[in-house]
Structure 1
Amino acid sequence: MRYVAIGDSFTEGLGDELPDGTPRGWADRVAAGLAVATGEPVEYANLAIRGRLLEPIVTEQLDAALSLTPAPTLITLNGGGNDMMRPGGDMSRLVGLTERAVRRCVDAGVRMVLISGADPSGRLPFGAFMRRRGELLTAAVGELAARYALPFADVFHDTEIRRAPYWSPDRLHLNAAGHQRAAGLILTAMGHPTAAHVVDPGPAESRRLLAEARYYREHVLPWVHRRVRGRSSGDDRTAKFPQWTPVGSV
């Protein structure tokens, strides 16, 4: 099996860092899970880069994925989350981009798995707006997967993963527990039933005024400043595993 993951920060693994600071994430965990489930060697590449919009994911990253030697046998695709956070986002355009990527993989004889990202909207500014867009995109991608008979991992509608213990302090990216749960959901959708990770509820999250002010200062304002400057958190970054990397269990 030769597995390539393409996408943005969700697929890169932001929020689930190893001791050396390298992001791990659900895709690394899925690659290891596939090796265990199949009992066969897995070659793995991860071309995802934080901050990427869907168009470069399904053009630049997909081009690179299909150009790997030997060719991939499996590609997972998630994207659109960064597009949804920007004004004027066109959900129908995102669906069209996704379908073109699906057709390219079908034509190349590569199995594709479509994945919807986890829903962070309940704890974010303008969260209701984001959830409406997320619902539209998830429904459309689910229909697309059904039409092409592709596996579809609907992480967006997993209500457990919406709880605070699965999220990083920025409330936008999953933490290690969240990525572990997502990996279980995705492996199950791929046909390898895996128990999804569950964490204890723990103490209630503090949403007091001082805590909220610190959150806006440390996470929201830097994001706004990047948007104003036309910058992305992924500028000048490259993929963490651009070539085939052998994977064992973790």
Structure 2
Amino acid sequence: MPAALGIIPARYASTRLPGKPLVDLGGQSMIERVVAQARQANLSRVVVATDDQRILEHVRGFGGEAMLTRPDHLSGTDRVWEAFEQLGQPAEISCIVNIQGDEPFINPAQINALVALFAQPAPPAIATLIKPVLTEEELFSPHLPKVVTDQRGRALYFSRHPLPYQRQHPLAEWLAHHRYHRHLGLYAYQPAVLQQLTQLPPSPLELAESLEQLRWLENGFSIYTALTELDAFGIDTPEDVARARQRLATSGT
């Protein structure tokens, strides 16, 4: 397997849930749970990149590795690159995995699916994770971006709207006539490619859909996808926190 580095960007500020990484979930903070899951994957190292001293000290307090990054980054991608620079850009790392800091139930197998793509003779520049859409609620939710791929698994387009539009079928029948996929926000990059991505200005499609990955496609970068059947559980609101706590209480973990 390639030498893969996991970096977890973790901001303190959040419009809907301030201090999100430190929220308690069944006796552990959210960021502690993300780190614990990531450490089970095929990663040589897991580092939290944060903009806040409280998160830094908390992660180090439970034995995790963390570093302080600038507070003015506009995206997690930029924060991940700064962290890699602070680490000295170790030459042995061939794959950097950007792990969302608000997914405490991320499955190590999902991370491994991306890392495995970089073991190929011609590794991708960028890779991300997708899963089948199973319900109409998922399909038509603008909060769950969808992705269209070519026959080799390369992303053609990401959208908050279901694509393709099935002109010959009513909306209620779309899932019966086409296999749709939604995008899960887990990325992996070659280090040199990640550096290039941070130098790109916002693009028209990105601004229209509010999806950063469209900037990369517009600038000619290929994004390969790995398929997972496992779901994602992102936490953005107090209601999500309540659902996560209920899940932990039910599972006993």
Q: Which has the higher strand share?
A: 2
Q: Which has the higher helix share?
A: 1
